[in-house]
Structure 1
Amino acid sequence: MHRRLVFEEPVSRAALWSRRLAWFSLAVLLLSVLVFRAGEPSLQGLAPIAGAYGFVLLALILSVLAFIRIWQSGHRGVGMAAQAFALALLLLAPAGYVGFKLVTLPALNDISTDIDDPPAFSRSRVALDARKSRVPPDVSPELRRAQRQAYPKTLPIVLEVPAEMAFDIARRAALNRGWQVLESARPGGRSGAGRIEAVARTRLLRFSDDITIRVRPRADGSRIDIRSASRLGTHDLGANAARIAAFAEEVELLVETR
């Protein structure tokens, strides 16, 4: 009785290494994010994350090369290459989203519902300590007009309730959004306006953004203006406008349920 020898095609080395590199990229990316979250947020701290994406790109390129080699030589490893390709694309999705925002949105990092008279940030000791002595700078009229074109729905919140009640609603909305309220002053005094200072932190990378809310009385109720400014970078990727929109929705919900 003769045995029949079966020769299997070898496994593509490119496919094998593309899968290894893809999983290594995932581990490096997760570790980089955890290290960034544990420290003080800075643009320099993003370097390891950017480096991790270099590995992701290399894994993607290697998986494509593996597909080509397998097609040409008939080697095994399609599943490995496909796994690496899918994982690399999944990891690149956030970077693609950031790139899309950079291209489609103007470079703004300070958004206000009042572009003519934006609420001023407090310079109290409590507020300055929370902001590391930083006061968001004034924004030029040109950038404020660019904001209006990019985010036309970012408008003042007008309520048919007294300013005292609007202040309570605004403060509750800020807390419901998970913001850290630093200090607040009820409407009254010489200006008649109320003020709330807060800090919001992004979910993934824990960037700190500064918020000031102004509540003014009107003849027919009250008006709430909010300004949100990023501490790092010149482009907020639309985060501040989205934060203001979420705050406005929270205020509307509280008004409807009171």
Structure 2
Amino acid sequence: MRILIRTSKWAIWARRLGSVAVPLVVISVLLHRLRLMTSDLFLVAAAVAGAMALLAVLVSMVALARLWQTGDRGWGKALWGLAFGLICLLPYAWYGALALRYPAVTDIATTDRGPMPLVFEPGTAAMPPPKLLSRSEMALVFPNVETRTYPLGLAQTFVLAHRLVDENGWDIKLERDPATGAAVGQINAQIVTLPGWREEVVIRVTGDLANSAVDMRSASLNALHDFGSNGQRIEAFLSALDDAVTTLLRDNPNANRPVEAEPESATDVEAPAE
């Protein structure tokens, strides 16, 4: 007599739900990064994908418990559903931890934002009002977000800042080079985060031939929370700029001295009339 062992329907549904959650997460992120999906739709898609992943985990747990009691088949399906669900929930857990660690802010700057306007692109003109931090909150959460001053000329500092922007792979949207005679150097560049959110940085360099000051702004476009990315970006960039300036001055002790006009040679000086 042949005994048939049935496959648990809970296990079947666990794997189905997990298999649906994975492409929902991946496709929604790809469409958002490629700008084929608006941010509003992305939030809805991300919520649906997260709910599907959570449901897959819950159904998998029920399936495993029932399999242990009944002896039915379907352990592999239940475990696959559990694995798919947990993998999909990892990004939600990560960003949830960041949301608990960092306050809900979308715009960070070292100084007044007036001289550092953003370059809006089509679709970003209707940005929600920025969420800002007070000066005391800024000092507590991002203590290194401060204006930098260097004993280095404006043009040289701008070159170092531009080099760091290129190394980071940021997409430059606006550039004002002080080498062309401008009294201020400025770079506006855009960054795309992993989930596809657009963020913009503004780097402003002021000074003269011997000294310079660097201010920076980083803001999220059409986002409700930056999860600390803007403040971390400014701190990392300015720290790298500190190192670059220090290295330049160490290797070139005369780099901070303004170039003086060479004196005329004796042959170029007209002889006095007799």
TM (norm. structure 2) is: 0.77
Code of the residue aligned with 1:199 in structure 2: it is: Q
Deviation at 1:253, TM superposition (A): 5.5
**For the aligned residues, what is the CA RMSD?**
3.1
> In 2, Cα distance between the equivalents of 1:11 and 1:209?
49
Deviation at 1:250, TM superposition (A): 4.1
Task: Give the corresponding residue for 1:173.
Answer: 164
Task: Give the corresponding residue for 1:248.
Answer: 238
Code of the residue aligned with 1:10 in structure 2: it is: R
> In 2, Cα distance between the equivalents of 1:249 and 1:6?
72
Deviation at 1:242, TM superposition (A): 2.2
Q: Choose the corresponding residue for 1:154, options 123, 127, 145.
A: 145
Deviations 1:42-72 (A, max 9, x none): 2333212211222111111100100111122
The structure that has the greater radius of gyration is 2
> In 1, Cα distance between the equivalents of 2:121 and 2:23?
36
> In 1, Cα distance between the equivalents of 2:175 and 2:131?
24
> In 2, Cα distance between the equivalents of 1:160 and 1:119?
25
Task: Give the corresponding residue for 2:102.
Answer: 105
Q: Choose the corresponding residue for 1:210, options 200, 211, 222.
A: 200
Any conservation in 2 of the 1:41–1:206 contact (CA below 8 Å)? no
Relative to structure 1, is the Cα distance of residues 182 and 106 closer, same or farther in structure 2, using a 3 angstrom cutoff? Answer: same
Task: Give the corresponding residue for 2:219.
Answer: 229
> In 2, Cα distance between the equivalents of 1:139 and 1:12?
50
Task: Give the corresponding residue for 2:10.
Answer: 14
Q: Choose the corresponding residue for 1:35, options 25, 31, 37.
A: 31
Deviation at 1:79, TM superposition (A): 2.6
Deviation at 1:81, TM superposition (A): 1.6
Unaligned runs of 5+ in 2: 252-274
Unaligned runs of 5+ in 1: none
Q: Choose the corresponding residue for 1:78, options 75, 80, 84.
A: 75
Code of the residue aligned with 2:108 in structure 1: it is: I
> In 1, Cα distance between the equivalents of 2:120 and 2:18?
44
Q: Which moved more, 1:169-178 or 1:210-219?
A: 210-219
Does residue 58 of structure 1 match 2:55?
Answer: yes
Alignment coverage as a number of residue pairs: 247
Relative to structure 1, is the Cα distance of residues 23 and 37 closer, same or farther in structure 2, using a 3 angstrom cutoff? Answer: same
Q: Kindly, what percent of the aligned residue pairs are identical?
A: 29
Relative to structure 1, is the Cα distance of residues 152 and 90 closer, same or farther in structure 2, using a 3 angstrom cutoff? Answer: same
Any conservation in 2 of the 1:128–1:134 contact (CA below 8 Å)? no
Deviations 1:106-158 (A, max 9, x none): 111111133xx3463347xxx34578446896776x53432221111223334
Relative to structure 1, is the Cα distance of residues 130 and 247 closer, same or farther in structure 2, using a 3 angstrom cutoff? Answer: farther
Alignment of 1:82-97 (within 5 A): 82-97=79-94
Code of the residue aligned with 2:88 in structure 1: it is: L
3-state SS of 2:29 partner: helix
Does residue 239 of structure 1 match 2:229?
Answer: yes
> In 2, Cα distance between the equivalents of 1:174 and 1:51?
36
Relative to structure 1, is the Cα distance of residues 131 and 56 closer, same or farther in structure 2, using a 3 angstrom cutoff? Answer: closer
> In 1, Cα distance between the equivalents of 2:128 and 2:207?
26
Task: Give the corresponding residue for 1:121.
Answer: 116
Relative to structure 1, is the Cα distance of residues 120 and 42 closer, same or farther in structure 2, using a 3 angstrom cutoff? Answer: farther
> In 1, Cα distance between the equivalents of 2:130 and 2:178?
24
Alignment of 1:125-144 (within 5 A): 127-129=119-121, 132-133=124-125, 143-144=134-135
Any conservation in 2 of the 1:119–1:213 contact (CA below 8 Å)? no
Deviation at 1:9, TM superposition (A): 3.3
Any conservation in 2 of the 1:36–1:46 contact (CA below 8 Å)? no
Relative to structure 1, is the Cα distance of residues 97 and 253 closer, same or farther in structure 2, using a 3 angstrom cutoff? Answer: same
Deviations 1:194-231 (A, max 9, x none): 222222222x3332212211112279732211100111
Deviation at 1:93, TM superposition (A): 0.6
